[in-house]
């Protein structure tokens, strides 16, 4: 039965199935069908027993040659499939690192974070250090040490969020037994904390998040950011304050933007002033943003009240100082002509992608 023609067709059939296998799983099935126990070539081998002894040896050699040929063909196909599968896997797993260079997809810091960093840089360039304080503050730091005893009417200048004091608060910390806790309404309490731990001379700015029980509108947020400034040294005068504010204004907003001070009241400074800057949008000519005045109010400032220095044990006969504080969000608003401050908090991707 194992004539040459039958063997040739078994080999040819086998080679065809091997060539048709597209994946390594398919090839495993083909291997079983071509060389396995139920394969035609195995049947040929079994039939050898019935062959005449004088032809058995030669027939066996011919069958062996077909098995060898098919085994080699399988090995070759296995290699080829492995190469293709590897190439396909690499292509599928490939990371397109060029995507990173697509500017439309690249993330960036929030405009308020960037504005804060630029403000810090400007003041660091003028010789100020940067300090921070907690957002949950005790009544003493937020108000009392800033010359506002309980029931002082000036506390009404800030609509305050009060917190439940923890029962187990440690003495001297915010939350000291029985002491009211607040979300700080301004960064001014950091002045007090700084003077407590650093004896003068002190030159520092203190940026951070503040909270007020305000209904948000185009120019107010209930969560917002301020930057506080403090300079305490021998012989600091109101002239130093005015010069510092003017220098900062030109450095941050540009040489055409100037600052002016107008009398105001704050409990922690005496005298106190509000500071205004040339409207950067119309450069002083008058526009909608500055209500036609050419000036934009940015913050408050003044000479540190001796009562504040006394609260932290600094001798106001020896040391004098100035302080200022203004809104970081407001700076970003003015600089980037943002009509409504609320977009800073809404995380609308269409806004975030623009600034």
- Residue 109, helix vs strand vs coil: coil
- C-beta contacts of 347-353 below 8 A and 24+ residues apart: 352/110, 353/104
Q: Which of 210, 223, 139, 206 is nearest to 174 (CA)?
A: 139
Using CB under 6 A, which of 17, 39, 188, 333 touches ligand DAH? 188
Among the listed ranges 12-20, 34-42, 106-114, 322-330, the one in contact with ligand DAH (CB under 6 A) is 322-330
275: which residues sit within 8 A by CB, 6+ positions away? 245, 259, 260, 261, 262, 297, 298, 299, 300, 301, 324, 326
Query: What is the distance in angstroms between the CA of the first residue and the CA of the last residue of the chain?
Result: 85
Question: In whole angstroms, how close is the CB of 185 to ligand DAH at the nearest point?
Answer: 7
Using CB under 6 A, which of 70, 325, 329, 344 touches ligand DAH? 325
- Give whichever of 174 and 302 is closer to ligand DAH, judged by the CB atom: 302
Q: Tell me the C-alpha distance between 79 and 155, whole Å.
A: 82
Q: Tell me the C-alpha distance between 212 and 94, whole Å.
A: 50
CA distances from 59 to 5, 48, 254 (A): 12, 7, 100
- Give whichever of 245 and 279 is closer to ligand DAH, judged by the CB atom: 245
- Give whichever of 252 and 266 is closer to ligand DAH, judged by the CB atom: 266
Q: Which of 161, 140, 162 is nearest to 152 (CA)?
A: 140
Please tell me what DSSP assigns to residue 174: T
- Give whichever of 138 and 272 is closer to ligand DAH, judged by the CB atom: 272
Q: Tell me the C-alpha distance between 269 and 232, whole Å.
A: 13
Among the listed ranges 26-34, 102-110, 118-126, 266-274, the one in contact with ligand DAH (CB under 6 A) is 266-274
Using CB under 6 A, which of 267, 280, 300, 321 touches ligand DAH? 300
Using rule CB under 6 A, residue 323 touches ligand DAH:
yes
Using rule CB under 6 A, residue 266 touches ligand DAH:
yes
Question: In whole angstroms, how close is the CB of 215 to ligand DAH at the nearest point?
Answer: 17
Interaction residues for ligand DAH, span 103-162 (CB under 6 A): none
Q: Which residue has the tokens 């690192």?
A: 97
**Number of residues in contact with ligand DAH, rule: CB under 6 A?**
13
- Give whichever of 241 and 279 is closer to ligand DAH, judged by the CB atom: 241
Pairing of strands 295-304, 269-278: antiparallel
- Give whichever of 139 and 228 is closer to ligand DAH, judged by the CB atom: 228
Using rule CB under 6 A, residue 186 touches ligand DAH:
yes
Burial of 134 (0-12, 13-18, 19+ CB in 10 A): middle
Using rule CB under 6 A, residue 269 touches ligand DAH:
yes
Among the listed ranges 18-26, 67-75, 129-137, 299-307, the one in contact with ligand DAH (CB under 6 A) is 299-307
Using CB under 6 A, which of 302, 314, 320, 332 touches ligand DAH? 302
Name the residues that contact ligand DAH, by CB under 6 A: 186, 188, 228, 266, 269, 272, 299-302, 323-325
């Amino acid at each position: 039965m194992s004539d040459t023609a039958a063997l040739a067709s078994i080999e040819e059939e086998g080679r065809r199935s091997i060539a048709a296998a597209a994946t390594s799983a398919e090839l495993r099935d083909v291997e079983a069908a071509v060389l396995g126990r139920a394969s035609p070539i195995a049947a040929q081998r079994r039939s050898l027993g019935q062959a005449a002894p004088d032809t058995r040896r030669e027939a066996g050699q011919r069958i062996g040659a077909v098995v060898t040929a098919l085994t080699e063909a399988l090995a070759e196909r296995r290699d080829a499939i492995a190469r293709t599968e590897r190439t396909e896997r690499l292509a599928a797993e490939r990371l397109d690192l060029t995507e990173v260079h697509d500017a439309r997809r690249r993330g960036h810091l929030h405009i308020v974070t960037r504005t804060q960093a630029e403000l810090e840089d400007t003041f660091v360039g003028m010789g100020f250090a940067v300090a921070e304080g907690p957002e949950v503050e005790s009544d003493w730091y937020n108000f009392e040490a800033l010359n506002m005893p309980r029931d002082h009417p000036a506390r009404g200048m800030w609509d305050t969020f009060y917190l439940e004091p923890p029962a187990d608060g440690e003495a001297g910390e915010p939350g000291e037994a029985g002491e009211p806790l607040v979300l700080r309404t301004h960064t001014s309490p950091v002045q007090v904390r700084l003077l407590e731990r650093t004896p003068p001379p002190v030159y520092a700015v203190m940026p951070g998040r503040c909270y007020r029980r305000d209904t948000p509108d185009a120019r107010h947020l209930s969560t917002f950011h301020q930057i506080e400034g403090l300079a305490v040294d021998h012989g600091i005068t109101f002239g130093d304050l005015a010069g510092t504010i003017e220098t900062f204004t030109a450095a941050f907003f540009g040489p055409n933007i100037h600052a002016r001070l107008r009398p105001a009241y704050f409990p922690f400074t005496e005298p106190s002033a509000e500071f205004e800057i040339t409207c950067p949008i119309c450069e002083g000519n008058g526009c909608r943003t500055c209500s036609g005045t050419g000036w934009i109010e940015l913050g408050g400032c003044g000479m540190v009240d001796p009562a504040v220095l006394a609260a932290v044990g600094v001798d106001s006969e020896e040391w004098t100082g100035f302080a200022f504080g203004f809104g970081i969000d407001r700076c970003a608003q003015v600089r980037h002509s943002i009509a409504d401050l609320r977009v800073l908090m809404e995380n609308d991707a269409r806004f975030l992608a623009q600034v």
